[in-house]
């Protein structure tokens, strides 16, 4: 009997995987295939590679429990699909859609190569073309987009994982995952990732359970404080498809129905998933989102060039404790709290006047949840060049943000132990602390902790002047 290839991509799970379920229902032998395509115009970054290795191993283990296995192949996607198709006499390819330009281009090629191809939605609550404004155009503002999505009613319930997956009589050759060198060795910088995360479907489900039990009720009140664990931290699992948004949606709604006190926390949480949907909507309708200003007026903006400043920002050595704590959290764990992302992004594009693309690229390389839509939309939101973005003149003050969202300094102390002994009231601007306090805390500004690389107040004025010039020039 000819077989079906299920081409896995950022949908590394068995449950609520529409392509896999449809293939399983055919009764034909299934070849689960993952292709590591290094010819991709935008290869994934180092932290994402680490995650991918874990998710692929977890997926293979789950497949083996069902009498199947994951075939790994490296090369140009269309060539590998053809090759494997010939090897196993496959008659069809099934996959779940992705929405960035590179992925869509690849899908179009596969669709012309394979007479029998079937594509599904496994990544979103609602596909980007399915929602339009009353005038029939794409959405540019979040709130009406979200209301339109809610008006469609509940998303379809998630699909159960197939109990058995028919195996072919002969398996095609598979690479060994270690040969792909997805995990760093020399140097091995992934210790912090290993101690923070467990990639894979089972871990995603367990994390969601924990979040629903412990944190969803207070989510709306606590989600802005980077020093406390109060958000779901499901973003890397979502980025690789260890879990689907429909699964999250339905489990959150079920929890809220059983615990009415959690209703408002659940609504506020699902609204964040709405931002993910909105980012995909934007990316689909403006595929250049990771590269070009969504708002073309920003093409006239004059960014600075300053490699030393970018490097200080990347390494968490700007002299602003909240910015540095966040950048070190990112470097160590591959993740950063949302509030902290907004603050470090504002610092880069406004205080330092450096292009948002430089920050987007660093995040792309270092985040375990690097996502083509969310990352680009997040950066453009902060830069003011995006859809429904923060206005450029709203410049985050890295000191007052820190006092407001990390009042006890828990976050700063965690990531900047060199400032740990400073009393709370000096933690947010250590350079202003009296000499005896610094001495008692063992802090020498400029030596044990950097002096601020820029003064926020004049930097803010400079940013606003650059914005005013841009407006004059267009």
Ligand X SMILES: Cc1cc2nc3c(=O)[nH]c(=O)nc-3n(C[C@H](O)[C@H](O)[C@H](O)COP(=O)(O)OP(=O)(O)OC[C@H]3O[C@@H](n4cnc5c(N)ncnc54)[C@H](O)[C@@H]3O)c2cc1C
Residue 371 found at the interface with ligand X (CB under 6 A):
yes
For residue 55 the two structure tokens come to 């998710």
Element (H, E) at 331: helix 321-333
Based on the shown chain and the rule CB under 6 A, indicate whether residue 382 belongs to the binding site for ligand X: yes
239 binds ligand X per the rule CB under 6 A: yes
DSSP state of 253: H
Binding residues with ligand X: total (CB under 6 A): 27
Measured from the CB atom, the residue of 68 and 357 that comes closer to ligand X is 357
Nearer to ligand X, 342 or 416 (CB): 342
Q: Which is nearer to ligand X, 84 or 367 (CB)?
A: 367
CA angle 234, 238, 242 (to 5 degrees): 100
Which of 151-159, 178-186, 267-275, 466-474 is the region at the interface with ligand X (rule: CB under 6 A)?
Answer: 267-275
Pick the closer one to ligand X by CB: 114 or 379.
379
Does residue 270 have a cis peptide bond before it, meaning omega lies within 30 degrees of 0?
no
Helices (H), ranges, 36-155: 46-65, 77-88, 101-113, 142-151
In the three-class reduction of DSSP (H, G, I as helix; E, B as strand; rest coil), residue 33 is classed as strand
Q: Shortest gap between Cβ of 302 and ligand X (angstroms)?
A: 21
Cα–Cα distance for residue pair 331/348, rounded to 1 Å: 16
Q: Rule CB under 6 A: which of 75-104 touch ligand X?
A: none
Q: Which of 142, 145, 275, 392 binds ligand X (CB under 6 A)?
A: 275
| 106: DSSP letter | H
Position 231 contacts ligand X (CB under 6 A): yes
Judged by CB under 6 A, does residue 293 bind ligand X?
Answer: no
- Which one among 9, 140, 223, 428 touches ligand X, defined by CB under 6 A? 223
- Residues numbered 331 to 350 that lie near ligand X (CB under 6 A) are 338, 341-342, 345
Helix (H, G, I), strand (E, B) or coil at 363: helix
Q: In whole angstroms, how close is the CB of 356 to ligand X at the nearest point?
A: 8
d(CA 62, CA 14): 8
**Helix, coil or strand: residue 467:** helix
Residue 357 engages ligand X in binding (rule: CB under 6 A): no
Answer whether the bond into residue 250 is a cis peptide, omega within 30°: no
Nearest to 174 by CA among 71, 37, 63, 83: 71
Which uninterrupted H or E stretch holds 22? Answer: helix 18-25
Of 58 and 208, CB closest to ligand X: 208
* Residue 262 lies near ligand X (rule: CB under 6 A): no
> Does 375 sit near ligand X (CB under 6 A)?
yes
| Secondary structure letter of residue 160 according to DSSP | P
Nearer Cβ to ligand X, position 16 or 60?
A: 16
Question: What are the tokens at 144?
Answer: 């009406």
CB of 28 to ligand X, least distance (A): 34
Beta bridge partners, 3, equal 90
Binding span for ligand X by CB under 6 A among 25-33, 198-206, 273-281, 406-414 = 273-281
Minimum distance of ligand X from residue 438's CB (angstroms)? 32
Based on CB atoms, which residue is closest to ligand X, 114 or 249? 249
Contact indicator for 429, 423 with CB cutoff of 8 Å = no
Residue whose C-beta lies closest to ligand X: 378
Choose the stretch contacting ligand X; rule: CB under 6 A; options: 135-143, 185-193, 368-376, 450-458.
Answer: 368-376
* One of 279, 333, 357, 401 touching ligand X (CB under 6 A): 279
Min separation Cβ 340 and ligand X, Å? 8
Between residues 68 and 244, which has the closer beta carbon with respect to ligand X?
244
Q: How many residues does the chain have?
A: 474
Q: What H or E segment, with its residue span, contains residue 191? A: helix 191-196
Alpha-carbon 136 to chain mean position: 29
Do the Cβ atoms of 370 and 239 come closer than 8 Å? yes
Minimum CB distance to ligand X, residue 367 (Å):
5
Answer for which of 23, 30, 35, 238 binds ligand X (CB under 6 A) is 238
Residues 370-389, buried b or exposed e (16+ Cβ, 10 A)? bbbbbbbbbbbbbbbbbbbb
Sheet of 71-74: strand order equals 71-74, 30-36, 3-8, 90-96, 117-120
Stretch that binds ligand X, among 59-67, 77-85, 255-263, 371-379 (CB under 6 A): 371-379
Site for ligand X in 21-80 (CB under 6 A): none
- Please say which residue, 114 or 363, places its beta carbon nearer to ligand X: 363
Strand partners, 90: 3
Q: Which stretches of the chain bind ligand X, using CB under 6 A?
A: 223, 231-235, 238-239, 272-273, 275-276, 279, 338, 341-342, 345, 363, 367, 369-371, 374-375, 378-379, 382
């Amino acid at each position: 009997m000819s077989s079906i290839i299920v081409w896995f991509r950022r949908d590394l799970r068995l449950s609520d995987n529409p392509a896999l379920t449809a293939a399983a229902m055919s009764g034909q032998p299934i070849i689960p295939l993952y292709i590591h395509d290094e010819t991709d115009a935008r290869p994934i970054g180092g932290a994402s590679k680490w995650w991918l290795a874990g998710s692929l191993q977890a997926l293979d283990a789950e497949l083996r429990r069902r009498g199947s296995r994951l075939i790994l192949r490296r090369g140009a996607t269309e060539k590998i699909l053809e090759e494997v198709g010939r090897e196993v006499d496959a008659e069809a390819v099934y996959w779940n859609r992705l929405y960035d330009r590179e992925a869509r281009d690849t899908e179009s090629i596969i669709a012309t190569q394979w007479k029998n191809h079937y594509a599904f939605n496994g990544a979103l609550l609602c596909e980007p073309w399915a929602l339009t404004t009353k005038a029939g155009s794409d959405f540019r503002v979040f709130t009406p987009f979200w209301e339109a999505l809610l008006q469609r009613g509940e998303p379809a319930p998630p699909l159960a994982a197939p109990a058995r997956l028919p195996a072919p009589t002969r398996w095609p050759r598979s690479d060994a995952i270690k040969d792909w060198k997805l995990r760093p060795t020399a140097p091995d910088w992934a210790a912090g990732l290993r101690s923070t995360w467990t990639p894979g479907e089972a871990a995603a489900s367990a994390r969601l359970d924990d979040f629903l039990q412990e944190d969803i009720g207070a989510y709306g009140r606590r989600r802005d404080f980077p020093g406390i664990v109060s958000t779901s931290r499901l973003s890397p699992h979502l980025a690789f498809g260890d879990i689907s948004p429909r699964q999250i949606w339905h489990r959150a709604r079920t929890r809220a129905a059983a615990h009415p006190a959690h209703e408002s926390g659940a609504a506020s949480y699902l609204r964040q998933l709405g931002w993910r949907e909105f980012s995909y909507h934007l990316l689909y309708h403006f595929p250049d989102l990771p590269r070009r200003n969504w708002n073309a007026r920003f093409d006239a903006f004059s960014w600075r060039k300053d490699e030393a400043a970018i490097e200080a920002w990347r390494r968490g050595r700007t002299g602003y404790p909240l910015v540095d704590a966040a950048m070190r959290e990112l470097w160590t764990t591959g993740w950063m709290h949302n509030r902290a992302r907004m603050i470090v992004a504002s610092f880069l594009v406004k205080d330092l006047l450096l292009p948002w693309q430089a920050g987007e690229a660093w995040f792309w390389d270092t985040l375990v949840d690097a996502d083509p839509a969310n990352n680009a939309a997040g950066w453009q939101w902060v830069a003011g060049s995006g859809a429904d973005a923060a206005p450029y003149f709203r410049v985050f003050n890295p000191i007052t943000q820190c006092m407001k969202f990390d009042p006890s300094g828990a976050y700063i102390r965690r990531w900047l132990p060199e400032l740990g002994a400073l009393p709370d009231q000096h933690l947010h601007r250590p350079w202003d602390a009296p000499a005896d306090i610094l001495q008692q805390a063992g802090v020498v500004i400029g030596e044990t902790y950097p002096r601020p690389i820029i003064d926020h107040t004049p930097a803010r004025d400079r940013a606003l002047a650059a914005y005013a010039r841009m407006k004059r020039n267009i």
